[in-house]
Amino acid sequence: MTAAQIIFLITAAVILGSAFMVVTTKNLVHAALWLIVTLFGAAVLFATLNAGFIAVVQVVIYIGAIAILFIFAVMLTRRSMTDTGPGLNRGWWLSAAIALLTFGGLVWLVSGWGGFTKAAPAYPSGFDAVAALAHALVSPEAFVLPFEVASVLLLAALVGAVYIAFQRKGEE
């Protein structure tokens, strides 16, 4: 077993374990903190896949913005700091069965595909992925339109979020 495999297995164990804690912990602030661990594990995976830019962006956006937003939302929607009642539905075992079936189905589906066990091609030496990504994002032959659409979507979503959550004066 090589060093890369050991790193992958440790990271995968951390990701799956913390993801399990995210969906089962009763205390929602703890769930959000476990989500940070999961996201950090995913960032480590991206780094081992030579996608340094994606790894850092994952930390900046998910941990720096999304996880913090979650913690704020949990605190804003809770009168007391302690939780009461079970965190799961009565029919949670049905959800568990569906999730297991999905996992089995997905693995069965991709394991039938020819490229399932293929090894990574050698990373081209001297290739600057960050520069290539930047060119791909703004070049008219590549992804400039999806990129712009995504930015418009983000703007619209944020304006909508402010409008929805805004408390008008005199309301309650």
Task: Output b/e per residue, 129-166; b: 16+ Cβ within 10 A.
Answer: eeeeeeeeeeeeeebeeeeeeeeeeeeeeeeeeeeeee
- Work out how close the CB of 10 gets to other proteins at its nearest, in angstroms, rounded to a whole number: 12
Please give the residues from 111 up to 130 whose contact with other proteins meets the rule CB under 8 A: 111, 115-121, 123-124, 127-130
Q: Which CB sits closer to other proteins, 2 or 170? A: 2
Among residues 60, 80, 141, 170, which is the contact residue for other proteins, using CB under 8 A? Answer: 60
Q: Which CB sits closer to other proteins, 4 or 170? A: 4
Residue 132 in the binding site for other proteins (CB under 8 A): yes
Please give the residues from 74 up to 93 whose contact with other proteins meets the rule CB under 8 A: 74-77, 81, 85-89, 91-92
Are the CB atoms for 51 and 9 separated by under 8 Å? no
Residue 10 in the binding site for other proteins (CB under 8 A): no
Q: How far is CA 77 from CA 10, 24, 47, 74, 80, in A?
A: 35, 19, 35, 5, 9
- Work out how close the CB of 122 gets to other proteins at its nearest, in angstroms, rounded to a whole number: 9
- Work out how close the CB of 98 gets to other proteins at its nearest, in angstroms, rounded to a whole number: 6
Please give the residues from 27 up to 46 whose contact with other proteins meets the rule CB under 8 A: 28-33, 35-36, 38-39, 42, 45-46
Q: How many residues does the chain have?
A: 172
Q: From CA 11, how far away is CA 9, in angstroms rounded?
A: 5
